[in-house]
Each structure stands twice: as C-alpha cells, then as structure tokens.
Amino acid sequence: MALESLYGIDTGLNMGLLKKYSEMAVQKGRVMIQPHKAIVGENAFLRPMYVWAGINMAKESWMLHEPLSPEYVGTHSTVVFGPEGSLDDAPIELKLKEQGIPYTAEDIVRVRQAVWKMLEEEKTVKVRRPYVSEADFEALLRKVMGKK
C-alpha cells in the first residue's frame, strides 16, 4: 500500500481489491484479521459522528484523519455513534432532521439513553460494544421515535 499510495510505484495489484484479498486470506488461512488492523480491519475507516458549526464532520473531512480514501482499497467508511462526543445533542438532532423525524428535547434524551442501553447490552467476549453504526443508529431513532 505504501509503494502505491506514497511513492507511486505500480505493484501490479488492483488496490480496489485489497479488502477482498484480505478476506480471501482469512478464509484460506483461517486466521482472523484484528478489527483495528490498518487498511483492512473492520474498524480501519470508522468515523465518529461529530457536528461542528453545522457541518457533519464525519462525512465532510475524512482527509483530517485518514491518509487514503477507503474506496481506494475496496471498502467504505462507517459513521458511528459512541460515548466520545457523538452522543451530544447536535449529532442526534442532525440525524433526526436527516430522517425527517419531528422531535423535542425529551426525545433527544430518550434517543441518547437508548444508545447507551444498546452499548451496554451488546457485548463480545468480555468487551463492551465500542460504537453504534450509523445504520443501527437510524434504526434505533425510528424505534425510539415510533417511526417505521
């Protein structure tokens, strides 16, 4: 990856298939990829949902924290909600507006509590769930707000 993206040296590999190459190696070698493995791990392109001055920072500024586009290696980024800032009022309000769901201040509190409950309940091998994906968050919004 460094040869291709940093030095412009053609390796002959299709970098858009890098994620698929990694998945094939997992199947053949039966050794799992760590979630935080650079470039191909499931957490490699997570973007916390932050809102600053009306800008969805997760979608607008990937270059600030990712050295390359996830699409370049055949994957995509995932916007997540978790305890570090993305459960403030602004990100929750933004998602409610994007979904076209009318809300009150109490609704925001209910959504936040539901996310906290989801983070606490879902566990994997002694580890608390580190984030809620954007898709999970949108489904949770519809559930909490009574929309289908």
pTM above the 0.85 mark? no
Element (H, E) at 55: strand 55-56
pLDDT of residue 82: 78
| CA–CA dist 28, 20 (Å, integer) | 12
pLDDT of residue 56: 63
pLDDT of residue 130: 77
Nearest to 79 by CA among 104, 58, 51, 53: 58
Q: At 52, phi and psi to the nearest 5?
A: -135, 125
Percentage of residues in the chain having pLDDT higher than 70: 82
Residue 45 CA, chain-centre distance (Å), reads 7
Q: What is the pLDDT of residues 95-114, one digit of tens each?
A: 898 889 999 999 999 999 99
| Residue boundaries of the structural domains of the chain | 2-144
| Contact status, residue 89 vs residue 108, Cβ threshold 8 Å | yes
| CA–CA dist 81, 76 (Å, integer) | 17
- Mean pLDDT in residue range 2-10: 87
| CA–CA dist 18, 85 (Å, integer) | 32
Q: What is the pLDDT of residues 32-75, one digit of tens each?
A: 888 888 888 888 887 777 755 556 665 665 555 567 888 888 88
Task: Report CA-CA distances (Å) from 86 to 23, 29, 37, 96, 132.
Answer: 30, 37, 23, 14, 10
Q: What is the pLDDT of residues 80-93, one digit of tens each?
A: 887 766 788 888 88
